[in-house]
Amino acid sequence: MDLFLQLFTTGIMLGSIYALVALGWTLIYKCSGVLNLAMGELTLIGAYVCLTLYRWLNPHMALNLAFIMAILFTLVIGAILGLLTEHAFLRKMIGEPVLSVIMVTVGLSFFFKGTIFIIWNPDTQIFTPRIFPLKPLLIGNVVIGQVYLWSFIAAIILLVVFVSFFKYTRWGLSMQATADDEMAALSLGVSAKFVYALAWAIAFMAAGVGGTLLGNINGLNYSVGLLGLLVLPAVVLGGLNSVPGAIAGGLIIGVLQNLTGGYLDRFFPGGVKEVAPFAIMVIFLLFKPYGIWGWERIERV
């Protein structure tokens, strides 16, 4: 039971970061019907930008303040990069077949990957000096690393902010209207181009902070981008066009990944933790193809 509680608690905290990245993935699909296969590189870019800003700000202010400011600047830079990416590469694809747009995101993933390796050192880097204390917290018999705890708190705060924006602001409501019925939204004066640009901006912001939190846990290298792609099972599990589903899917995948790693690695050494989310996704799709909260498409003949 102690092992189960340990794995479950850590999985929930890791899953909250997956949920943050999944939110950006879902927003792009919900608004445009496109799977953004460059999401892993978006997490990587945000993490490297935050690391660079943190190292630049750290000598000039207190440690915690430097990290908070680096996160805020990362959000701003992520929004700008999202708007630029949509304007330069994807705006011309409005009205084109969905498969063509998906292939553009594949090309973007290679472009971003090459840009990252040109600008930053691909070797593993860590946030130094350390932001979170190494001494873990003990709650009953469960040991919680402070990096997991604070990453969980930061992810939850940002999830609340993004969901509130999507639900209560005029721009967020415009995004919902476009996602529900694009033609009706256009007839009411909503700009589809603006909505798509905003979706990419939010995706860059969410992925960047998610990558930063993952980089604090495991160190920052190319594997953070692979963890960004690990969010795909979470998105599919929750439902590709469901914001609550993205959050729930992220938490579920985080827990299941930790449990399978903790219990099965001893029998199948070498990568069970990484393969399990995709195996779970395939099995789940056999019984519920649209995810937990996904929209079921009904065709009348």
Is pLDDT of 47 > 60? yes
Band of the pLDDT at 191, cuts 50, 70, 90?
confident
> 3-state SS string over 78-100?
HHHHHHHHHHHHHHHHCCCCHHH
Which residue has better confidence, 95 or 27? Answer: 27
The structural domains of the chain, with segments of one domain joined by +, span 2-287
Q: What is the percentage of the chain residues whose pLDDT exceeds 90?
A: 9
SS3 297: coil
Packing angle, helices 170-180 and 192-218, rounded to 10: 110
Percent over 70 (pLDDT), the chain = 95
Angle between helices 243-264 and 272-287 (to 10 degrees): 130
What is the pLDDT at residue 48?
Answer: 92
Q: What CA–CA distance (Å, rounded) separates 182 from 191? A: 10
**Burial label, 189 (beta-carbon count in 10 A; 0-12, 13-18, 19+):** exposed
* Confidence at 155, pLDDT banded by 50, 70, 90: confident
Report which of 53, 289, 81, 51 is spatially closest to residue 202, judged by C-alpha positions: 81
pLDDT at position 2, please? Answer: 77
Average pLDDT over residues 259-267: 82
Q: Write the pLDDT tens digit of every residue in 87-103.
A: 888 888 877 787 888 88
Candidates 100, 50, 4, 94; CA nearest to 204 is 50
What pairs with residue 117 in β-bridges? Answer: none
What is the model's pLDDT at position 216? 85
Q: Within a 10 A sphere around the Cβ of 192, how many other Cβ atoms? A: 17
Task: Summarize the confidence of residues 116-130 as an average pLDDT.
Answer: 83
9-18, 54-63, 152-161, 165-174: lowest mean pLDDT where?
165-174
**Hey, what CATH topology would domain 2-287 get?**
ABC transporter involved in vitamin B12 uptake, BtuC (1.10.3470)
**Quick one: which of 213, 200, 178 has its CA closest to 67?**
213
Which pair of structure tokens corresponds to residue 33? Answer: 């019907």
Q: Residue 274 has what pLDDT?
A: 80
pLDDT score recorded for residue 77:
93
Q: What is the DSSP string of 60-72?
A: GS-HHHHHHHHHH
Q: Mean pLDDT, to the nearest integer, of 39-68?
A: 88
pLDDT of residue 134: 76
